[in-house]
Structure 1
Amino acid sequence: MNISKAAQATGLTAKTIRYYESLKLISPAHRLENGYRDYNESHLRELSFISHARELGFTLKECSDLLGLYNDNGRKSADVKSLALKKIADVEDKISQLQVIRESLQKLTECCHGDDMPDCPIIDRLAKGKDSTSA
């Protein structure tokens, strides 16, 4: 199938599919006589796998590692679980960082009157730099 049909079948864009192929995340598509790419069911499985992994927050490098395990019949499920547990730890770190950001923004908005006047403590504190939200 051509790249448009592969994109439609996987929910990815043709540009994304070309990009994944250029990174060698997926096996290269067979080229037809006219030079067009020809994708098969194996490509669709790989693309869907990557798409689902990306939805869960895995990086392209992590997707490559997972795809290697997916294609390895001798894989150990412990290796897959290890990657998933590392991703959970990464997500928990991001959640903590986002909570700090939220708290800082809440402090900033509490200082602002939100009226029609040009004076704005949010702008003032942002202009002062990193430590300005600890007031």
Structure 2
Amino acid sequence: MYIFLHFINAMTSLHYSKNFAKVLACSSILIVTSCNLYDNNQTVIYNGRIEVLGKSYDESLQDSVLIVGSVYSAVDNITPEINARIWSEKIVFETFSNANGEYELKLPPGSYDIKCKKRFGNSDFIEKLSGIELLANEKFEVNFFLGV
């Protein structure tokens, strides 16, 4: 502020009119204020994503299907999402991620759309994996990264 006032005094001493100095001072303050407000209210959105790690065959599943994986925050891709909801709408099956972000969802064989979201999160940030065909005794591994 001191530098700014010193600049105004220099401008008036160089025979600029006092009105010009006042207009310049008001304009500069307005610009600085506008920039400050913009920076403080900036919103950052992190888009989610899905990472399919693959399928394997496991006879111990006794003709069912097991979907396993982890749920992380898309902000840093390493923070586990605790109590994230993972579900299928075709047949109502659901599970929640544990304290490490890990989950398991056991289903009968079939074709599914699997969804994941924060338990109490905004419904705009649902990750959806569509049209997965799962056969008996298949273990399907998929990680979800939830956006904010």
The two structures share one fold, judged by TM-score above 0.5? no
Higher relative contact order (CA closer than 8 Å, sequence separation 6+):
2
Q: Which has the higher helix share?
A: 1
Normalising to structure 2: TM-score of the pair?
Answer: 0.26
Q: Which protein has the larger Cα radius of gyration, Structure 1 or Structure 2?
A: 2
Normalising to structure 1: TM-score of the pair?
Answer: 0.28
